[in-house]
Structure 1
Amino acid sequence: MKAFVFSVAALFAVSTAYAQTAWTVDKAHAKVGFTVTHLMLTEVDGNFKNYDAKITSAKPDLSDAVIELTADINSINTDNERRDGHLKSPDFFDAAKYPTLTFKSTSFQKVEGKKYKLVGDLTMHGVTKPVTLDAVLVGPVTMENPRGKQEKAGLKISGTIKRSDFGVGSSSTAVVSDEVELKAAGEFAKQTAAVAESK
């Protein structure tokens, strides 16, 4: 009897894993960016040109979503080549030593309507810390296109972190605010094949 119960439990676990569905980002309709304040006078916007993001969920409404993001530090862009070079240097991100930034959510809780509270682990400059962000989820909705119907969803994420918490910059780089506003938004498309959740 115990063997039967174990087999049923194992089968249920495998079925649950394969029920996970991946949603991939449409980079033509997405952006991963940030804003800092320079000399406490004006805001400077930046973004990462190279990144990848996905959502994994077992529920059709994405209410149990796990959100993952990876960004290439060397692709940082603030529309100023000299500033970009400085940001990649050991004074800030040290891209040669820490070439990627990653985020993986640990909690996605509805606040009200389309608003969610997103909690996850952010790794930057070799430091991993939990962060809490605001998220707005639109959809999923079924869209018509020349290739047929496809489910899509829109996700917008925002929040503020301190770069000093991750060892990015120092007191000698105080010309840039310690607080960094994170801003990411994207359109995600549901993949037709179910994927196993790796845990």
Structure 2
Amino acid sequence: MKKIILSTAALFILAGSTFAQDWNMDKAHSQVNFVIGHMGINEIAGSFGSVTAKFTATKDDFTDAVIELSADVNSINTGNEQRNNHLKTDAFFDAAKFGTFTFKSTSFKKVGDKNYQLTGDLTLHGITKSVTLNATFNGTATNMQKKTIAGFKVTGIIKRSDFNIGMGMPAGMLTDEVSLVANTEFVKG
């Protein structure tokens, strides 16, 4: 009987070490931004103000992380209300028809000490494509509520033509390539 109890206790301890940990994005300390070239002489930056994201991982190095993100297209902000409203029309994002965009990871591969290759399915403007982004793990800390937080910076480039966004705009007006930069903090638990 003693062996059964010890074996059961050992099994629970071992199983406990592989339980998935949930991490939720701290919206107050996170941003999802983009930059696009304008007329070959300037770059216009913007962000999405309403974003939710989470990931689940069992490993301390996050290599088995499954990441999910969802953003409200209507929360787009480029610092110019007229441009924001234009981007919401069917000439670009068509926010009335495609009000959210989503990302779900398919792999989070460690490629360096704190660097990862993040691959997943991005659904934007009703089109889903696999994209690969770069992620940098900035470390962990304890916040004021005594919870563990983790910071990541995610960067990459997507093509607006892959998602049929702004197809009426010539490449000389707007670049096809759009740079993505997300600075995020996640709270464990």
- Specify the TM-score bucket, using the shorter chain as the normaliser: 0.7 to 0.9
The residue number in structure 2 matching 1:170 is 167
Q: Deviations over 1:8-50 (max 9, x none)?
A: xxxxxxx79x922210111111001100011111010000011
**What stretches of structure 1 move > 6 A for 4+ residues in a row?**
none
Return the alpha-carbon distance in structure 2 between the equivalents of residues 182 and 106 of structure 1. Answer: 18
Question: CA offset at residue 59 of structure 1?
Answer: 1.4
- Map 1:94-113 onto structure 2 (within 5 A): 94-113=94-113
Question: CA offset at residue 170 of structure 1?
Answer: 0.9
Q: Deviations over 1:76-135 (max 9, x none)?
A: 000001101110000000000000010011000111110111100000000000000000
The residue number in structure 2 matching 1:189 is 187
TM-score of the aligned structures, taking structure 1 as reference length? 0.82
Return the alpha-carbon distance in structure 2 between the equivalents of residues 137 and 41 of structure 1. Answer: 33
- Map 1:118-157 onto structure 2 (within 5 A): 118-141=118-141, 143=142, 145=144, 147=145, 149-157=146-154
SS in structure 2 at match of 1:28:
helix
Question: CA offset at residue 139 of structure 1?
Answer: 2.5
TM-score of the aligned structures, taking structure 2 as reference length? 0.86
Question: CA offset at residue 138 of structure 1?
Answer: 2.4
Runs (5+) with no aligned partner, structure 1: 1-14, 192-199
The residue number in structure 2 matching 1:39 is 39
Q: Deviations over 1:115-164 (max 9, x none)?
A: 111100000000000000000012344x263x4x3221101100001000
Number of corresponding residues: 174
Identical-pair percentage: 51
Return the alpha-carbon distance in structure 1 between the equivalents of residues 44 and 19 of structure 2. Answer: 42
